[in-house]
Amino acid sequence: MGDDILNRGLEGIRVAETRLSDIDGEAGELTIGGYSVDELARNATYEESVFLLFHDRLPSPDELDEFRADLAGQRTIGDEVRAVLRRAADEDKPAMDALRMGAAAANLGAGAEDPEADARRVIAVFPTIVATYWRYREGEAPVEPREDLRHAANYLYMLTGEEPDDPAVRGLETYLNTVVDHGLNASTFTARTVVSTESDVVSAATAAVGALKGPLHGGAPGPVLDMLRTVHERGDPEAFVREKLDAGERLMGFGHRVYRVRDPRAAVLSAAASEFYEDAGDTEFFESVKAFEDVAVDLLAEHKPDRRLDTNVEFYTAALLDGVGIPKELFTACFAVSRVGGWTAHALEQLGDNRLIRPLSTYVGDHDRSWTPVVER
C-alpha cells in the first residue's frame, strides 16, 4: 500500500493480531476468548471473563478463588483519591470525568508493580471510584468495599449500601461480560497505542477512559432510557418513531459502525433484561420496550431502505442497567467498569509482542514558504 493512500479513521486498516475477541459484522457474531458472547455472558462471572482474557483459558476453581481474592483485596482507594472524587461531585462534573481523575491515581499506594499487577489493580478500583463519586454526588458517605462479595455484587453494594439480590447481580454480571471486549474500538486502540510506547497499564487505562468519554464512542444509553420511558408513557411507539424520522433526527439505540444486522450483544442483553423484569414482576415496561424495538426496526427499514439500522447494544443496555439499579448518569462509567478488563488485556497483549504504533498522515499544507520578520508582517 502506497503512502499516498488515505484511510480516514484508519477504517479497514489492520494494525494488530489478537486472540481476545472477533467480530463478524455481516453475520452479527461476536466471539470473546473463543466463546460466543451469548455463552460467555450467560455462564461466566466477570472474574472468569477477565481471567480468560488474561490467560486464554478459564480458571480452575483454585485459580478462580485466588484471582477473585486478589481483585477483592485491591478495591480500596485512598483518602487523596476520595478527596478528588468529592471535589468532582461537588462541582457537578460528569461521572466519566470523575473516573478519569480516579483512574489516573489508581496506583497510588500500590508500589512498583508489573503490568499484570497494575491491570488487576485498575480493574479492582474502577467500581470503587464510580460508586464513591456517586455517593458523594447523592450527599451520602462512601460505602467501603466488601471482600466477600463478587465483583458485580460489590459494585451494586457500594452504590446503595445494601447487599443486592441475586437477579440484580446476575443481570449486571451478564452486562459486564457482554461488553468486556469488542475488537479494536477507539478506546481499546488508545490503550494499545499508549503501552506501545512502553508506558504503563494505568496510563493506558486512563487514556482509554478519555477516549470512551466521547459521545461517538461511549454512546448514549442514558438518553435511550429517556426515550424508552417516554414511549412507554405515551403508549404509541409508531407515532414517536415517525415523528423523529420526519424531523430528520437520529433514533438512538439503532445502527452500528460494524454490524450490518442486529448487534449480537443486544440479543444477549434483551434476554437478560427479560429474565430480570420477569423475576421483578415488572413485565409491563419491558414488553413496551420490545414492542418499540419491533416498530422502530420496521419503520427504519421503510424510511431508509438503503441502510441496515438494527438494534445495537445501547438499546437493551438502558433497559437492563436501569432495572438492576444503575443510575442513568453512570451508564457510560458502568461500561468502563466492564471494558477496563478488555483494555488491560489488550495492553498486556500489546506488550507481549510490542511494536510502537506510529501511523502516517497525508500532508496537505504548503511548501517553500519564506519567513517574514514580525516587523514586516
Annotated catalytic residue within 47, 293, 314, 349: 314
Annotated catalytic residue within 151, 256, 346, 349: 256
What Cα–Cα distance (Å) separates residue 179 from each residue in 14, 32, 330, 341? Answer: 22, 10, 15, 10
- Known catalytic membership, residue 367: no
Buried b or exposed e, range 311-330, using 16+ CB within 10 angstroms: bbbbbbbbbbbbbbebbbeb
Which residues contact residue 44 at a Cβ distance below 8 angstroms, ignoring those fewer than 6 apart?
A: 52, 173, 177
- Known catalytic membership, residue 232: no
Tell me the three cell numbers of residue 170.
Answer: 446476575
Tell me the three cell numbers of residue 299.
Answer: 419503520
Q: Which value, in Å, is the radius of gyration of the alpha carbons in the chain?
A: 22
What Cα–Cα distance (Å) separates residue 189 from each residue in 192, 205, 210, 344? Answer: 5, 11, 12, 11
| DSSP-based three-state secondary structure for 29 | strand
| Contact criterion met (CB below 8 Å) for 41 and 178 | yes
| Contact criterion met (CB below 8 Å) for 158 and 127 | yes
Give the DSSP letter of residue 33: T
Q: Which amino acid is present at 16?
A: A
Tell me the three cell numbers of residue 69.
Answer: 481474592
> What is d(CA 192, CA 213) in angstroms, rounded to the nearest whole number?
17
Sign of CA dihedral 62, 324, 228, 234: positive
> What is d(CA 79, CA 270) in angstroms, rounded to the nearest whole number?
39
| Contact criterion met (CB below 8 Å) for 330 and 38 | no
- Catalogue the active-site residues: 256, 314
